[in-house]
Each structure stands twice: as C-alpha cells, then as structure tokens.
Amino acid sequence: MPIALERQVRSENVQSTRTLGAALAAAARPGDLIGIVGELGAGKTQLAKGFGAGLGINQTINSPSFVLMAEYRGRLPFFHLDLFRLADATEALAGGLIDERQAEGVTLIEWAERLAAALPSSRLDVFIEGTGDEPRIIRLEARGPDYARYLEALP
C-alpha cells in the first residue's frame, strides 16, 4: 500500500480556492490523477478552474456534469471529469471515461468517491469541507511518495 502524506489548508473564499488549484497545477505531471471529494457547493469546480489556469488554459472551465468529461489543452492535456450524475464506477468505466489518453495529461475527478475501489492506489485525494459563504477546510492526501510533490507545491 502506498505511503499517505497529508496537509490541510484553509480557503477563505473562491479566489483562494482557485489559487490553491493553480499552485497544485505547477506540480502536475503526465499520468497524474487527482480525486476531489466534497458536498454539492463545496468548491470542487472552483479548484478545477484554478488548476486549469495553473496549466495555462485560457478557456472557461465549467463543471462537466452533463457531458461527464471535458478536455482542455494547456502545459499538459487536462481531463476534467464530474461524476455527480453517476451512481458508481460501473457506469463510469462502461462509458469509457477512463482511457489511455489520460496517461499523456492530468486527470481531475470531481465526486471521485463514486469510483471508489476502481481508482488507482497512487493519486492525490482532495477533501473539501464546507459550503456556502463559509471558509473551506481542504485536506490533501498524497497516496504514494510521488504525489508528495503536490503537498510541497502549496503556498
């Protein structure tokens, strides 16, 4: 089982959540997987927007809830998945949402808990606590030593 390293940060507002996402993007490498878990309205998509900006993506990044996955081109290809509408991993895998192209870029999955055991053991997990106008507590867990670089990239 990979080593798990953790770090917790506090995000006071949308902009600080986006700034956190941009800082994480600086550490991204081809083949990386980032799973984001949080309630509806926690800021998962705001983190993804910041991550995309950190990869140099100028396009508008929205939650791909209805299309399930959006692709963007930046410093690395960025695959943004939103599994809100899916019940479990079976639907995601049957729908072809995980494929070999993602080895060339970085994949960020909102509602990652819906893939559960289907997720690879090496990844970065991001847990966002809080909703509405309240500050967020964001816990980052590097699952494997290679993902510790994300924790080191935080301000």
What CATH code is carried by the domain that includes residue 132? 3.40.50.300
Give the closest residue to 150 by CA, choosing from 25, 40, 39. 25
User: pLDDT at residue 58 above 70?
Assistant: yes
d(CA 93, CA 44): 21
144 closest CA partner among 2, 6, 1:
2
Percent of the chain's residues with pLDDT above 70: 83
- Between 8-12, 99-103, 110-114, 143-147, the lowest mean confidence (pLDDT) is in 99-103
CA distance 19 to 111: 21
How confident is the model over 101-133, as pLDDT tens digits? 667 899 999 999 988 777 888 999 999 999 888
Question: Which residue range(s) make up the domain with 33?
Answer: 4-152
Lowest-pLDDT range of 10-14, 64-68, 135-139 = 64-68
* Number of domain units in the chain: 1
The 10s digit of each residue's pLDDT in 74-91 is 999 999 988 887 666 555
Predicted TM-score of the model (pTM) = 0.88
Higher pLDDT, 118 or 97: 118
Retrieve residue 117's tokens.
């055991």
DSSP track, the chain: ---EEEEEEEE-SHHHHHHHHHHHHTT--TT-EEEEEE-TTSSHHHHHHHHHHHTT--S-----TTTSEEEEESSSEEEEEE-TT--SHHHHHHTT-S-GGGGGSEEEEETGGGTGGGS-SSEEEEEEE--TTS-EEEEEEEESGGGHHHHHT--
Report yes or no: 128 and 42 within 8 Å, Cβ to Cβ: yes
pLDDT category of residue 1 using cuts at 50, 70 and 90: very low
